[in-house]
Structure formats: structure tokens, C-alpha cells
Homo-oligomer: A and B are copies of this chain.
Amino acid sequence: MNTFGTLFTLTSFGESHGAAIGGVVDGMPAGITVDMDFVRSEMQRRRPGQSAVTTGRKEADEVEFLSGIFEGKTTGTPIGFIIRNTNQHSGDYDNLREVLRPSHADYTYWQKYGVRDHRGGGRSSARETAVRCVAGALAKLALHELGITIQAYTSQVGHIALENDYTKYDLSLTESNIVRCPDAEKAREMEELILKVKSEGDTIGGIVTCVITGCPVGLGEPVFGKLHAALGSAMLSINACKGFDYGRGFDGIGERGSEQNDQFVNTENSITTATNRSGGIQGGISNGQPIYFRAAFKPVSTQLGEQTVLDIHGNPQTLQAKGRHDPCVVPRAVPIVEAMAAITVLDYYLQYKARLQ
């Protein structure tokens, strides 16, 4: 199941060390100008090797669009695109041919499909998320026409967490530091922690918070297509994501119902809510308030140094990890979270428009 969405869909393909990764975006509204600089900048945000807190691995990540765009605008037909894998030295991975790396997908893929593509994770590699960033950039271009914005940021690394909710920060500062945290002081602490963990050859997890503004009232298709269920599914499909909540989420379970009520108020002859503890969604349908949610990312499993692992015959092998991994995936997850949110919201916007009048 490599297709995501109902009306606006992304079909993704590609392994980390095959010829290319790529995708097909279907249901893209016609007549949207494709700002190639914007698409590239979105991919740049996800790219490995962009700073000291990410992997040192280099990927060129040049996207080539093959269809669905004519004279600079989308045509409404499917947009096929590819990103060549420039670093395909599969020989580099010969030592992994029979090795099962712990807490990776090596074992489960092998068992499910009966074959092994041992080259750097194959299909389960996070390299696949570059495809999502391309589709997300296209979705953002369409959402831009509607005044819908999507902005994510790092809200926690290890135990270093922002103390306030999104309303207290200037999110335009997010890109001003390499951990993508809008609080400069916390960003420094997070960066220090990541560098410390990196120096130990280890990894650390964290949280990305995402805020969506400008949605009309009415996005969401109850009861199984609740907007937050779709966002949750989108986030949980990202590599290393282990949890999702929205509104007061896990933090709100110790509160009383009376503390979480969002009273309606009549402002300028329009009904809105005085507070937004619900997270912009009620009964699975957007209520016009900002939508906010969190995605939790684990410390990834790749470890530096030598470890004893099993091979596919069940025999112990010594694995010397090469260590071109991210000590913390969270900074690079920020644009991926935004991309999947954009894809989801555009899909739901189109469903919302599917009415008689």
C-alpha cells in the first residue's frame, strides 16, 4: 500500500540504493503555478548533511518532473517525478548482506517478502521521505491559494521541551537555527544535547509540533475519516514516528472536563471559540480554529561502534556500523511532518468541496 489519500493521492516508490526514488501525485488541482525554487527549498530542508546535528551523508536530491506540468502550470493530470540515487555503491553494503540489524526493518521485510535488499534499508529507508516532501510542496502550493498555512517545529529533544504552546512563539523563527525550534535558548540546549549524544555514538528522540491555520469549518469525514485520524495515520506512516496526539492530547488526560471546555463566543457576528483546547477539531471536523498536533519520534536504532548481531541463519556476526546516521531525526522530520500534513489537508479540502452546490 504505497498510495496515500482519496482524491489527492501520492503513490511512492523507490529504494535507497536502487536507480531512483519517485512518486506520482494524482488529483493535483489544475492551473497552479509550480514554483520550482519553493519545491527545491522544501527538499533542501529535509536533505541529509545540512548541519552538524544531522547525518553527514550526502544526497543530491534533484527532482525531475515528468508529467502533469505544462508551461509552468499544473494540468490536472498526474504528476510523475523521480529523484535519482547518486550514491548507489551497493558494494559498500556487502557486509550487511546477511546481517539483521536490531530494531530495523531488516528482519520483518525479509520474512514478509522472502527476499532481502540489504542495501541500506532498501524500501524501509527514510530516503523515501524525500518523495513526500515533493508531494507536500505541491500540496502547499495549492493550499497557499486558499490561505491555508502549515508550520511545524521541534518542540522537544530528549527531556528538553518547550514550556509553552504554539501561541507563545514566533514560528517564523523556526528556520533560524539548525534544530528548528522557535525558542532560541531552548534551541541551543537541544543542539548541545544532540551533539553530546552524537559524540557518544548514540541517538536521541524528540517531538515535532505542527500548526495548521486557515482551514475552513468543515474538513473531516466522520466517523472513520475524522480529520485527526487521517493526520494521525499520516504522521505514523513517517519513519521513526511512534506517537501522535492533538489538542491537549496525552497531557490533557489529567485535567477535568470543565478545564477543557472551549466556550463559544460571538465575535464580529461570527461564532468562534474563546479557547482552543480541542485543537481545532471537534467531532472529527475542523472548527475554524488553528489545528495543532504532535508527532513523537524515537531515537533511531543505528548505533556507532561494534555490536554483535544475528545473521539470517541465526548465527552471531560482528557488525561495525559506519555511522552516517542522524543522532536525532527530529530537525529533519519537521519538513516531512509538514509535507504529510499538507497532503492530508488538501485531500480533505477536496472532499469537503465535493458537494452538490
Write the residues of chain A forming the contact surface with B, with a CB cutoff of 8 angstroms. Answer: 1-4, 6-7, 9, 11-15, 18-24, 26-27, 29-31, 64-68, 70, 73-80, 82, 100, 102-105, 107-109, 111-115, 117, 122-124, 128, 142, 145-146, 156, 158-159, 197, 200, 202-207, 217-218, 220-226, 228-230, 232-234, 236-237, 242-250, 252-266, 269-271, 273, 277-279, 281-287, 296-303, 309-310, 314-315, 349-356
Contact = CB atoms under 8 A, between A and B. Distances in A.
B30 A24 contact: no
User: Interface centre among A230, A261, A273, A309, by most B CB within 10 Å?
Assistant: A261
User: Interface centre among A1, A12, A18, A156, by most B CB within 10 Å?
Assistant: A1
A78 B218 CA distance: 17
A253 B296 contact: yes
B104 A310 contact: no
A258 B303 CA distance: 7
A298 B252 contact: yes
Contacts of A105: 222, 282-285
A75 B115 contact: yes
Contacts of A277: 103
A9 B224 CA distance: 11
14 contacts: A4-B224, A12-B223, A13-B68, A20-B80, A21-B67, A70-B115, A76-B114, A80-B82, A102-B263, A103-B277, A105-B222, A109-B283, A112-B217, A353-B356
A282 B248 contact: no
Contact of A299 (B156, B260, B265, B310): B260
Contacts of A21: 66-67, 80
Given A30-B115, A260-B301, 18 more contacts: A2-B24, A2-B222, A3-B26, A11-B24, A15-B67, A18-B68, A22-B67, A30-B114, A102-B273, A103-B260, A105-B283, A108-B283, A124-B284, A226-B237, A229-B236, A232-B244, A245-B245, A253-B299
A102 B278 CA distance: 10
A65 to B, nearest CB: 7
A237 B76 CA distance: 18
B66 A248 contact: no
A12 B78 CA distance: 8
Closest 8 CB pairs of A and B: A105-B283, A243-B245, A1-B225, A203-B257, A205-B253, A13-B80, A76-B113, A108-B285
A310 B266 contact: yes
A78 to B, nearest CB: 4
